[in-house]
């Protein structure tokens, strides 16, 4: 069963009907070339597409003629060295929490005058930086911060501008003698943990935003915590239900072993609402993103924490190392589904390279990104769908991708394909505000 693009994508209120999970071919894989052979055993199961070979150092298992496959020799476009686009850049000083802005034509970072400031602007700036919301803001006396700022200031223009980028102008002084200090919603951090060298199984708290989504008492997909009440996952994990039983979905957080789910200390979180992007196309896998709202909020701790979202226009160059994690199959035969959360480093592959004729031949849209290795080795696999592709930036971890689809698992020249979260920031913010 599939829903067309016009159908309302909000799913709520339990309805007493029963559906086999994903009645068409394994969700997210229907239409992907070259997968039918090893998918035959899955067509009646609840597993969905994608995540992860046991180790980046181990050779592929069960991939047949891997060594005879010619690798893709398209070079990465290394000219993309600065992921920042546009003419206005923002940062919050780690020393004193002051908001600093760099206008494209000016070489220096300048503080922002308190005049005409409001909390709505603070939220917009926080979101530009990949944080969900503003936590605190105040005007700080220039006399309290020392003589560091002598090059001038940024001030909000008197006219109402349509975009945040056009709201700023240079000033020699601030009339009130105050500048803005900001704190945004904390995310993307983890507790101090012993460093893992060459580890495969993740330790508790290493990926505190990772959750397991259970449908009818079975691990079905991964997901990522972005607030105390919202989880990001893949649309193909949920879209096959026209009238689903919301009560059949349970979210487990703060675990690394699936066997610890449903224990007294790890009771699941009930789901109140499921929203998938209305532009999701189950044939091309485009716009493969969804949100789950919980009935009761997470209690944040060392093992349950939110991940930051990417900044607007966030575009990582090919070769950037990121991480995937999940409980999906560790071999493409669909037999070995681990009890313990697995993790692996994967490099970003440029869309230009991923769309070449020796990889996905134009199937990668602007709302997708690729990560993995030309020779295979490490990839997402069945059961990891909806889980996180995270990258560290400015000392915080950001949810760059959502596990979506791919041809096979860890096959040469067919890396994992992920939903590009940076393309859906407006949609995420709108859904969270409206629901």
Domain ranges of the chain: 10-55+199-434, 88-184
Q: Is 385 a catalytic residue?
A: yes
Read off the DSSP letter of residue 195.
P
Residues 6+ apart with CB under 8 A from 388: 207, 209, 210, 222, 224, 307, 324, 325, 399, 401, 402, 403
Q: What is the pLDDT of residue 207?
A: 96
Catalytic position from the list 9, 248, 385, 404: 385
The DSSP annotation for 239-278 comes to: TT-SS--GGGEEEEES-SBGGGTTSGGGPPEEEEEEEE-T
Q: Which one, of 397, 398, 399, 386, lies nearest residue 191 by Cα? A: 397
Looking up tokens 């603070």 gives 122
Q: Looking at residue 265, what is its pLDDT?
A: 63
Say if 10-55+199-434 and 88-184 have the same CATH topology: no
Cβ neighbours for 104, distance < 8 A, ≥ 6 positions apart: 86, 87, 88, 89
Other C-beta atoms lying within 10 Å of the C-beta of residue 63 = 19
Active site residue 236: yes
- Show the tokens assigned to 197: 């060298």
Class of domain 10-55+199-434: mainly beta
- Do 355 and 363 meet the contact criterion of CB atoms below 8 Å apart? yes
pTM over 0.75: yes
Catalytic residue among 22, 137, 219, 236: 236
Our answer to whether residue 239 is catalytic in this structure is no
Structure tokens at 90: 């923002």
Q: Which CATH architecture has domain 88-184?
A: Roll (3.10)
User: What is the end-to-end Cα distance of the chain in Å, rounded?
Assistant: 26
pLDDT of residue 180: 97
Tell me the HSE value of 348 on the side-chain side, using a 13 A CA sphere: 25
pLDDT of residue 262: 67
Series of mean pLDDT values for 10-residue runs along the chain (435 residues): 30 30 29 27 31 31 32 56 65 92 86 94 94 95 82 87 86 94 95 54 90 92 97 92 74 89 76 95 95 97 96 88 88 67 94 94 96 83 90 93 88 93 97 95
- Secondary structure letter of residue 317 according to DSSP: P
């Amino acid at each position: 069963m599939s829903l067309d693009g016009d159908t309302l994508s909000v799913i709520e209120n339990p309805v007493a009907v029963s559906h086999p999970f994903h009645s068409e071919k394994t969700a997210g894989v229907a239409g992907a070339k070259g997968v039918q052979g090893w998918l035959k055993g899955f067509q009646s199961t609840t597993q969905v597409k994608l995540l992860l070979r046991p180790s980046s150092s181990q050779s592929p298992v069960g991939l047949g003629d891997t060594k005879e496959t010619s690798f893709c020799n398209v070079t990465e476009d290394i000219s993309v060295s600065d992921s920042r686009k546009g003419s206005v850049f923002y940062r919050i000083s780690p020393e004193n929490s002051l908001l600093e802005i760099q206008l494209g034509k000016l070489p220096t970072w300048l503080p922002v005058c308190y005049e005409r400031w409001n909390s709505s602007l603070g939220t917009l700036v926080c979101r530009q930086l990949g944080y969900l919301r503003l936590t605190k803001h105040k005007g700080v006396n220039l006399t309290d911060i020392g003589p560091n700022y002598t090059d001038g200031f940024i001030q909000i223009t008197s006219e109402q501008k349509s975009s945040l980028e056009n709201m700023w102008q240079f000033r020699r002084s601030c009339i009130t003698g105050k500048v803005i200090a900001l704190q945004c919603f904390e995310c993307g951090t983890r507790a101090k943990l012993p460093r893992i060298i060459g580890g495969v199984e993740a330790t508790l708290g290493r990926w505190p935003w990772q959750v397991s989504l259970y449908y009818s008492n079975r691990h079905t997909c991964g997901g990522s915590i972005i607030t105390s009440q919202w989880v990001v996952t893949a649309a193909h994990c949920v879209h096959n239900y026209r009238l689903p039983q919301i009560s059949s979905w349970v979210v487990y957080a703060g675990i690394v072993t699936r066997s610890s789910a449903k224990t007294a200390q790890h009771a699941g979180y009930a789901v109140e609402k499921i929203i998938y992007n209305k532009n999701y196309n189950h044939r091309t896998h485009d716009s493969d993103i969804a949100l789950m709202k919980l009935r009761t909020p997470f209690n944040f701790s060392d093992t349950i924490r939110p991940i930051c979202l990417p900044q607007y226009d966030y575009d990582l160059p090919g070769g950037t190392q990121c991480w995937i994690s999940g409980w999906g199959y560790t071999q493409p035969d669909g037999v070995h589904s681990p009890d313990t959360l697995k993790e692996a480093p994967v490099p970003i592959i440029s869309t230009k390279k991923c769309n070449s004729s020796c990889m996905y031949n134009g199937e990668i849209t602007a709302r997708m990104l690729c990560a993995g290795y030309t020779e295979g080795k490490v990839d997402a696999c069945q059961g990891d769908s909806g889980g996180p592709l995270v990258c560290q930036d400015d000392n915080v971890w950001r949810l760059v991708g959502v596990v979506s689809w791919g041809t096979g698992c860890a096959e040469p020249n067919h890396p994992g394909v992920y939903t590009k979260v940076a393309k859906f920031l407006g949609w995420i913010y709108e859904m969270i505000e409206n629901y």
